[in-house]
């Protein structure tokens, strides 16, 4: 029962069982073998505690059954959820996950792609921000939330629809003057469309709205300034806010509380993502929830699909509104 330095090999098993090496291989891989042989081999495997060596197998077959997932981190609850569901989808198909955290670092994004190729992973799923990222063409590659080209499938929630839904929901709940707040990468990606959907809906509805979109790294106090700048006569100008992410929504709520403005009485608020407290308790805020499980499934089934060529280049999945206490019921 050794695996470390000198683990038993198929040759050892063959010797122990008194059969040929090829026969052992067949048994291990479930190919048809005479019943008596099969039994002998299985006994020998059991006795020696044989485990196949995946390096040897990979070298021979050019397949590793490993998919690399490149993502900023697992600290952000939305990413944590995504990692979770992608892992489930992979496990179901007997694939392993090689996890790479970029921490939003452009160099790491590049290095991890290189590393994944060195490890001959069978595919890469990536959520990245590097504007100059080059997608290798020789390994199945699927992106999340960011469209590169028609030859690189991108999976994303319906961000435009989500922004539109948020505005309409707020309107439906009685709001007549809205605001959109977000902070994020300067990069134009799928989540950028949240704002477009929101604006489009406001125009459609014919209601006034404000927009503040800060670049990553801007101090949050700018939001504070924005809010205080929109107080007249002790009252906030708007009665509904759509915030780019649940995380930011939470921070905005904290600001509002400190300013003595009540949520949802004075102003209703909708976030985006669908984060839950501790991953599985109640929603943190009222929100437009991403279909994380479907996104994960789409990523995995796409990256593993044999013929990447006839796969859609943009897979856009529906979002839905979820009540989380920051809107009127």
Partner DNA sequence: TTGTATGCGTTATCAG
Partner DNA sequence: CTGATAACGCATACAA
Give the closest residue to 67 by CA, choosing from 52, 54, 46, 86. 86
Would you count residue 53 as binding a second copy (CB under 8 A)?
Answer: yes
Give me the least distance between CB of 175 and a second copy, in Å please: 26
Footprint of a second copy on residues 185-224 (CB under 8 A)?
A: none
Q: Which does 280 bind (CB under 5 to 8 A by kind): a second copy, DNA, none?
A: a second copy
How near is the Cβ of 121 to DNA at its closest, in Å?
15
Within a 10 A sphere around the Cβ of 131, how many other Cβ atoms? 10
61: left (phi over 0), alpha (psi -120 to 50) or beta: alpha
Query: Residue 80: how many CA atoms within 13 Å on its side-chain side?
Result: 11
CB of 122 to DNA, least distance (A): 15
Place of tokens 């077959």: 61
Q: Is 265 exposed, middle or buried (0-12, 13-18, 19+ CB in 10 A)?
A: exposed
What is the maximum span of the chain, computed from C-alpha positions, in angstroms?
A: 92
Coil, strand, or helix at residue 206? coil
Nearer to DNA, 59 or 150 (CB): 59
Choose the stretch contacting DNA; rule: CB under 7 A; options: 19-27, 130-138, 159-167, 264-272.
19-27
The residue among 74 and 301 lying less far from a second copy, judged by its C-beta, is: 74
Q: Do the bridges between strand 231-232 and strand 235-236 make them parallel or antiparallel, or are there none, so unpaired?
A: antiparallel
SS3 at position 99? strand
**Residue 207: burial class (beta carbons within 10 Å; 0-12, 13-18, 19+):** middle
Between residues 32 and 118, which has the closer beta carbon with respect to a second copy? 118
CA distance 323 to 329: 7
Q: Is 258 in the site for a second copy (CB under 8 A)?
A: no
Please state, in angstroms and rounded to a whole number, the distance separating the CA atoms of residues 195 and 244. 8
Q: How far is the CB of 280 from a second copy (least distance, A)?
A: 6
Binds a second copy (CB under 8 A): choice among 215, 277, 312, 318 = 277
Which is closer to DNA, CB of 44 or CB of 71? 44
Closer Cβ to a second copy, 219 or 279, answer by number = 279
Tell me if 36 contacts DNA by CB under 7 A: yes
Residues in the chain: 329
Can you tell me the distance from the alpha carbon of 303 to that of 128, in angstroms, rounded to the nearest whole number? 16
Between 49 and 131, name the residue whose CB sits nearer to DNA: 49
Q: Does 308 bind DNA (CB under 7 A)?
A: no
How is residue 12 written in tokens?
């050892």
259 binds DNA (CB under 7 A): no
Q: Which 41-70 positions form the footprint of DNA (CB under 7 A)?
A: 52-53, 55-57, 59-61
CB under 5 to 8 A by kind: which of DNA, a second copy, none does 232 bind? none
Gap between the Cα atoms of 22 and 233, Å rounded: 85
**Phi and psi dihedrals of 242, rounded to 5?**
-110, 125
Give which of 115, 163, 109 is closest to 287, Cα–Cα.
163
Binding mask 80-119 for a second copy (x = CB under 8 A): xx-xx--xx--x----xxxx-x------------xx-xxx
DSSP state of 179: E
6 binds DNA (CB under 7 A): yes
- Contact status: 75 vs a second copy (CB under 8 A): yes
How much is the CA Rg of the chain, to the nearest whole Å? 26
Q: Would you say 7 or 322 has its CB closer to DNA?
A: 7
Give the footprint of DNA on this chain (CB under 7 A): 6-7, 9-11, 19-23, 25-26, 28-29, 32-34, 36-37, 52-53, 55-57, 59-61
- Which residues in this chain contact a second copy in the complex, by CB under 8 A? 1-5, 7, 51-56, 58-59, 62, 64, 73-77, 80-81, 83-84, 87-88, 91, 96-99, 101, 114-115, 117-120, 136, 138-139, 247, 250-251, 275, 277-281
């Amino acid at each position: 029962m050794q695996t470390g330095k000198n683990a038993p090999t198929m040759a050892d098993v063959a010797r122990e069982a008194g059969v040929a090496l090829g026969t052992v291989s067949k048994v291990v891989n479930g190919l048809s073998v005479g019943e008596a042989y099969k039994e002998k081999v299985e006994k020998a495997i059991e006795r020696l505690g044989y485990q196949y060596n995946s390096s040897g197998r990979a070298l021979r077959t050019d397949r590793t059954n490993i998919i690399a997932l490149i993502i900023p981190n697992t600290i952000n609850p939305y990413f944590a959820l995504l990692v979770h569901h992608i892992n489930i989808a992979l496990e179901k198909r007997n694939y392993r996950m090689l996890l790479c955290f970029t921490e939003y670092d452009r160099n790491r994004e590049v290095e991890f792609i290189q590393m994944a190729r060195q490890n001959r992973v069978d595919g890469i799923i990536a959520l990245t921000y590097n504007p100059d990222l080059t997608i290798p063409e020789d390994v199945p590659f699927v992106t999340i939330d960011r469209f590169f080209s028609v030859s690189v499938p991108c999976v994303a929630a319906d961000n435009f629809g989500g922004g539109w839904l948020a505005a309409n929901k707020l309107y439906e709940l009685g709001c007549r003057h809205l605001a959109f707040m977000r902070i994020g990468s300067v990069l134009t990606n799928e989540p950028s469309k949240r704002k477009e959907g929101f604006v489009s809906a406001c125009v459609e509805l014919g209601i006034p709205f404000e927009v503040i979109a800060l670049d990553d790294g801007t101090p949050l106090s700018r939001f504070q300034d924005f809010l205080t700048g929109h107080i007249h006569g002790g009252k906030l100008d708007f009665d509904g806010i759509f915030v780019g992410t649940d995380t930011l929504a939470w921070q905005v709520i904290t600001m509002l509380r400190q300013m003595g403005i009540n949520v949802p009485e004075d102003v209703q608020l909708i976030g985006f993502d669908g984060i839950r407290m501790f991953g599985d308790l109640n929603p943190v805020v009222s929100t437009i929830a991403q279909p994380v499980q479907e996104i994960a499934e789409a990523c995995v089934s796409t990256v593993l699909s044999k013929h990447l060529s006839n796969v859609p280049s943009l897979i856009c999945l529906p979002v839905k509104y979820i009540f989380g206490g920051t809107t009127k019921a």
